[in-house]
Each structure stands twice: as structure tokens, then as C-alpha cells.
Amino acid sequence: MNLVAEVLQVSVPVFLVAALGYVFGRHHGPEMDSANRVNMVLFIPALLFYVLSEKIPADLPWGGITLGAAAVVLGSGLLAWPVARLAGMPVKALVPPSMMNNAGNLGLPLALLAFGEAVLPLAVVAFVVEVALHFSVGVWILKGRMDLGVLATNPIFVATVAGVAFNLMDLHAPAILLPGIEMMSQVAIPLMLVSLGVRLNRLDLSHWRIGLVGALLAPATGILCALAAIRILHLDPVTADVLLLFGALPPAVMNFLMAERYDTFPAEVAAIVSFGNLAALAVIPAVLLVIL
């Protein structure tokens, strides 16, 4: 019974905030573009810079979580590709959402509640790996070529590089600026959850088949790749738990935004993202039962 209570304490607050976002979207419309842009340009970069430069301990096992997260993202794509072919579904619609999971909107708050602030840097590193691969390999899948300029000018990537550089050189932001950076970082996670809930109002039932396939494929491939990476890399228990949670996450909302930007099956991707995040209501608590 205590284990069930632990799972509920982790999952209920996260899904409740997302549910509030859904209710807000129902009454005020699903328009979140401006808020999402502010979050992507200001608040999430502030969170990444603050955690990477100020909160990562010197003995953090960077290598394991970095390699593990990359293995989950890339391995999921390799597993999803033949499934898309065999199912007769468009590769550009099914494969990217299977690879690029919701490491931001769900992964960070879940990791924070499940493991505590001390372990949050591991989840941040996994999120950074996912973002870097999304704006490089993900763009290559959608466009047919890799656009490094898109990655290099992305505020999240720039903040990540700056945060890592500050950490490695033992630098710190000026004391007069640090409280403001911290305040901005605290906005990112709640706003990501609200945005996720609002986005669910765009659920498109006309593409239910690919939506259901994608909803099942993303956590299935992610968990399989996470388990393989844990075994091959001999990860410590804490890193292994973070990576397993990372692998179980549903498709990222960013998949829809990218599909819309490059005009590659946006309606189908929207269905996969929506169904996948609804399926997370069952998948995430089940995985937490194993982890906690």
C-alpha cells in the first residue's frame, strides 16, 4: 500500500497540473503558441543553464546517462522504422515521435518528484540529449538533411553549452543575476505541464489507428532500449532508474510543432502525441511501481 501511495504522490501532481491545462484549453481555446515560445526561449534555457552550471555535483555520472539517453533515442528509431514499414504507415510520421519523448514536459517534473532535487541533473542531461538529437537527427528525418544551423541557434542548445562550459570551468553567474535566473527556471516545468494539457484539446480521432500504434510504440521501444543500455553500460541503480523512466515517456509535444513546421504529416503526428500522452496515465504509474 505504501508503494501505491508513493506512485500516486509522484504521478498525481504531474497529471493534475496537465489536467488543469486541459480544462483551461477547453474554456479559453488551445492557443499556447506565445506562451510556448516564451518558455522555449527564456524559461527552459534558464532552467538548463541554472541546473547545469549551479546544481550538478562534481561526481555526477555524466557519461552513463548521456550514452544511455542517446541509446534510447536512436535505438527507438531503429526499432520503430521497420514497424512503420510493415504497418504501411509513413515513416516520417511514426518514427520521430517514437524517438523523441516528452523528457521536458513530463520527464523533468516526474524525475523531480520521484527522485528529488539531487537527482534532477540526471534528468536534465537526458533532456538535453533528447533535444540535441531532435534538432539534428530529427530534422534530418523530416527534411532529408541535417541543419546544424537550426541546432546552433536554438536557445535551449545555447543555454546547454553555456551551462556545461560554466560547470567545467567552475564559473558562476554574477550573484546579482543568479536569483533572477533561478526564478525564471522555476516557471519552466509548470508551464510545460500546462501546455501539455492544453495541447490535448487538439486530439484528432480521425487518425486514431496511427495514434494508437504510436502511443504503444514509443514507450515500448524506449523501455526496451533503456533496459539494454542499463545492462550494456552497467549503470548504477539511480542512473538506471532515471533512464528507465526516460525510456517510458510518451512522445514529445515538440514532434507536432516540428511536423507542422516542415509540413510532414502534422495531423497524424498530433494524434500520436495526444494518444501517447493519454496512454502515459497508465504507463508511467506502472513503470514507477517497478522503479520506486
Q: Mean pLDDT, to the nearest integer, of 86-112?
A: 90
Q: What is the mean pLDDT of the chain?
A: 87
pLDDT band for position 1 (cuts 50, 70, 90) = very low
CA–CA distance, 120 with 104 (Å, rounded to integer): 12
pLDDT tens digit sequence for 254-282: 787 778 778 888 888 888 988 888 898 88
pLDDT tens digit sequence for 164-207: 899 888 889 999 999 999 999 988 878 877 887 887 787 767 88
- Domains defined along the chain, listed by start: 2-291 (1.20.1530.20)
Instruction: Write down the pLDDT at residue 4.
Output: 66
pLDDT band for position 3 (cuts 50, 70, 90) = low
Residue 249 has pLDDT above 80, yes or no: yes
Instruction: Write down the pLDDT at residue 2.
Output: 65
Q: What percent of the chain has pLDDT over 70?
A: 97
DSSP the chain: -HHHHHHHHHHHHHHHHHHHHHHHHHHH-S--HHHHHHIIIIIHHHHHHHIIIII--TT--HHHHHHHHHHHHHHHHHHHHHHHHHHT--HHHHHHHHHSB-IIIIIHHHHHHHH-TTTHHHHHHHHHHHHHHIIIIIHHHHHSS--HHHHHT-HHHHHHHHHHHHHHTT----TTTHHHHHHHHHHHHHHHHHHHHHHGGG--GGGHHHHHHHHHHHHHHHHHHHHHHHHHHT--HHHHHHHHHHHH--B-THHHHHHHHTTSSHHHHHHHHHHHHHHHHHHHHHHHHHH-
Pick the more confident residue, 33 or 50: 50
Q: Mean pLDDT, to the nearest integer, of 57-85?
A: 91
pLDDT tens digit sequence for 199-246: 778 776 788 899 999 999 999 999 999 999 999 999 999 999 999 999
